[in-house]
Amino acid sequence: MSKVKSGFFCQNCGYESAKWLGRCPSCQQWNTFVEELIQKDNKKITANDWRSFSDDAPARKTVSLQQIQTKEAPRLLTIDTELNRVLGGGIVPGSLILVAGEPGIGKSTLFLQMGLHLADITTLYISGEESEVQIKMRADRLKAQNDHFYLLTETSTQVIFQEIKKLKPQLVIVDSIQTLESPFIDSSQGSVSQIRECAAEFQQFAKETNTPVFLIGHINKEGNIAGPKLLEHMVDTVLQFEGDRHYAYRILRTLKNRFGSTAELGIYQMNDDGMKPVLNPSEILITQKEEALSGIAIAATIEGQRPLLIEVQALVTQSVYGTPQRTVSGFDLRRLQLLLAVLEKRGGFHFGVKDVFLNIAGGLKVEDPSIDLAVLVALLSSYEDASIPHNVCFAGEVGLSGEIRAVNRIEQRIAEAEKLGFEKIIVSKYNQKGLPKQRFNIEVITMGQVDEVYRYFF
């Protein structure tokens, strides 16, 4: 008979303990341990034996590093250029990709659309959340047909792998990993041990059969991926789907990628007939306004390999309460406090008695330090209630002594600003060395200190 034992798992990080603990030694959270039954069976289910899946399954033996022949595996390209960019150039065979995001943001729609458009690839879409009729209704809305696209509404991994052995798909999409259950674990769906075991079984399947697998995941109320932290370590790529459900634009961001850059960004627009890639996001991130408004500045940033021009909006008002408010959206609050301290110390502006509100238009979250100069100019514009000319943009990092520091890949930023019709761009004077002469049709103005920018505009 199989031996049955129980273990205690942290519901926050997945740490396993033989006895109950009040505080998790891994994530330091209190009262997160829950007892779960673990079925230890020496006999593995035959459905997970992949030797019969493909003829060229690798033999398990110790080999020398010098004996291994390296070759460039051809990537599977989709018609979605944004997804190809975020994945680092396409889907790598045998990769395990985790996609997480808010409920209702469009994860299922995006990957159902991707599977339907891969006409020559046998795709298996496994759903533990929706019925076959619901998925067919969504596919009809997407107006896409594919004879090689198959559905399976099942939550047991034993049944799923038996169907996979019959169909032998070239791509597997699981929606979602939190709804699956493994026969090896005697606990409820969505528990830490179930998520970990199901992900491990799909990882074994992906690596041994060279089949790419997409795992769609949920997030918890803190915004982190639901389940153990081990889930993110096991997969090859982690994608985060961001955006507000009440707006049309969605952002697909890479958090981890073993086959490409982690700084890439994909932007989509949600329409009635699915997700449409936004090929020129700079145009939608800049408001087309006719009258001059104070508190608005345009920043030239870089996200991955792509230059973006985004709009920074600031509002500075007299504080009504004793402690002034600092409210940000899409920007680091501590970075804003640092820039306000620079303006207080180096410029003599009294922001200590002002409420400050800052917003990055379009729902973006920007981490590029080159946005500092545009934030600072937007703050000064609102402080003085004087507008900045709409044909000027900014690219520069601000130091603690008030100097404007150089930023990388300045030529790409200038070229993007020129393409969108800007006439002037303010950059650091320390970027002059790498800047070619008489190459751009846009006027490049170099400055070294914050007070020079203030005198130039105000």
Positions at the binding site for ATP: 101-108
Alpha-carbon span 272 to 56, nearest angstrom = 43
Q: At 449, give phi and psi (nearest 5°).
A: -130, 155
Sign of CA dihedral 217, 223, 229, 232: positive
Pairing of strands 33-40, 185-186: antiparallel
Query: Which residues sit in the known binding site?
Result: 101-108
- The DSSP output letter for 347 is I
Residues 171, 177, 178, CA angle at the centre, nearest 5°?
A: 165
What is the chain's alpha carbon radius of gyration, rounded to the nearest angstrom?
Answer: 26
Core vs surface per residue 243-263: b (16+ CB within 10 A) or e: beeeeebbbbbbeebebbeee
**CB count in 10 Å sphere of residue 105:** 19
Alpha-carbon span 128 to 113, nearest angstrom = 18
| Amino acid residing at 85 | R
Listed in order, strand segments (DSSP E) in 96-248 are: 96-101, 123-127, 149-153, 171-175, 185-186, 213-217, 237-242
Q: Report how far Cα 408 is from the mean position of its chain's Cα atoms.
A: 22
Going by C-beta distance under 8 Å and a sequence separation of 6 or more, which residues neighbour residue 8? 16, 17, 18, 19, 20, 21, 33, 34, 35, 36
Helix (H, G, I), strand (E, B) or coil at 228: coil
Core vs surface per residue 310-320: b (16+ CB within 10 A) or e: bbbbbbbeeee
